[in-house]
Amino acid sequence: MPGGTDEPVSSGGGTPAVVLVEPQLAENIGMVARAMLNCGLDDLRLVRPRADWPNEKAVAAASGADRVLERARLYPSTAAATADLNLLFATTARTRAMTKWTLTPRAAASEIRRATAAGIGVGLLFGKEARGLGNDDVALSQAIIAIPLNPTFSSLNLAMAVLIVGYEWRMAANAVETAADATPLAAVPGAVLQLPKETAPATAEQLQGLFEQLESELDRCGFLRITEKRPIMVRNLRNLFGRAGLSAQEVRTLRGIISCLVAGPRRPRGGSGGA
């Protein structure tokens, strides 16, 4: 029923993408599609799903949300799935030993609305059913969404987690419309999203390029030479820069800084003049 489930897109552009990292069961993907469309979301991205794709069981579980499944795209990695996005939220039930901005779904919903209204591409990352997101995927994200449920029984079905975040996103539309222009971007002095108007936020791909350059130079100078510590050091660095909510210009600046530090002192070098 193409078009039959269309509804007017909310003012101010895009909807957040839902990125499922290594989902195990096709039924859950179908239920996620249904929950997404319940909330008016339809950009579904699958990173290495275990089940074959497309999948009959997913279609059955989607209960009519076929259009979300038809649009769904497959990716080999979280980095590939989020390359065009600017602001990533890692959804998690347990706390992590990482320094990260952590928001409730409700607080995140306002930030997401503000971001997409400003043309910033948002991705919501959900991990596999049994274990949630890996630390590397959390490290790729600018912030964590922690769903505040019963701490003694927090085993939440994947589609349920998507529903809660999507529901709050939908509810936030009403809130934003009600508040009208009373809450300008600058009124929330948050570290996550506050970018000057003229500044384009970095894409995940640009960030990835920065990380790769930095890590390769750190390999060369021996900073990451202790093999068993390398993964955690890399993750910590990505966290650190991820938290800063870098603009595209800042990524270019940092890349220039790394090149400059590596090149060393400028000095006249017979003619062509270095740097």
Q: Are 35 and 162 in contact (CB under 8 A)?
A: yes
C-alpha span between 89 and 219 (Å, rounded): 29
Among 174, 226, 227, 272, binds a second copy (CB under 8 A): 174
Q: In the numeric block, which tokens belong to residue 80? A: 């590939």
Range in contact with a second copy (rule: CB under 8 A) among 9-17, 47-55, 73-81, 100-108? 100-108
Q: Which of 74, 84, 157, 229 binds a second copy (CB under 8 A)?
A: 157
Shorter beta-carbon distance to a second copy: residue 76 or 174? 174
Are 42 and 67 in contact by the 8 Å Cβ rule? The answer is: yes
**Closest listed residue to residue 167, CA positions, set 11, 18, 7, 39:** 39
Q: Which is nearer to a second copy, 125 or 246 (CB)?
A: 246
Taking the complex as a whole, the smallest distance from the CB of residue 270 to a second copy amounts, in Å, to 17
Applying the rule CB under 8 A, the residues between 6 and 35 that interact with a second copy are: 6-7, 31, 34-35
Cα(262)–Cα(26) distance, integer angstroms: 48
Rounded CA separation 44/34 (Å) = 11
User: Among 2, 97, 180, 227, which residue sits at the site for a second copy (rule: CB under 8 A)?
Assistant: 97
Pairing of strands 17-21, 44-47: parallel
For residue 81, the minimal CB distance to a second copy (Å) is 24
Residue 172 engages a second copy in binding (rule: CB under 8 A): no
Check binding of 48 to a second copy (CB under 8 A): no
Closest to a second copy by CB, 79 vs 90, is 90
What does each C-alpha distance from 16 to 122, 165, 212 come to in angstroms? 5, 10, 26
Q: Which of 51, 80, 117, 188 binds a second copy (CB under 8 A)?
A: 188
Of residues 117 through 156, those in contact with a second copy by CB under 8 A are 143-144, 148-156
Decide: is 66 part of the binding site for a second copy (CB under 8 A).
no
Among 51-59, 63-71, 73-81, 120-128, the segment contacting a second copy (CB under 8 A):
63-71
- Of the candidate spans 16-24, 47-55, 194-202, 204-212, the one that interacts with a second copy by CB under 8 A turns out to be 194-202
- Residue 219 CB contacts under 8 Å (≥ 6 apart), including other chains: 225
Element (H, E) at 21: strand 17-21
Q: What is the contact mask toward a second copy in residues 198 to 237, using x (rule: CB under 8 A)?
A: -x--------------x--xx-xxxx-x-------x--xx
Q: How far apart are CA 41 and CA 90, in angstroms?
A: 17
Q: Considering only the stretches 18-26, 72-80, 107-115, 119-127, report the one whose residues sit in contact with a second copy under the rule CB under 8 A.
A: 107-115
Burial class (CB in 10 A: 0-12, 13-18, 19+), 200: middle
d(CA 95, CA 25): 25
Task: Identify the residue among 163, 172, 202, 204 touching a second copy (CB under 8 A).
Answer: 163
Minimum CB separation of residue 75 from a second copy in Å reads: 25
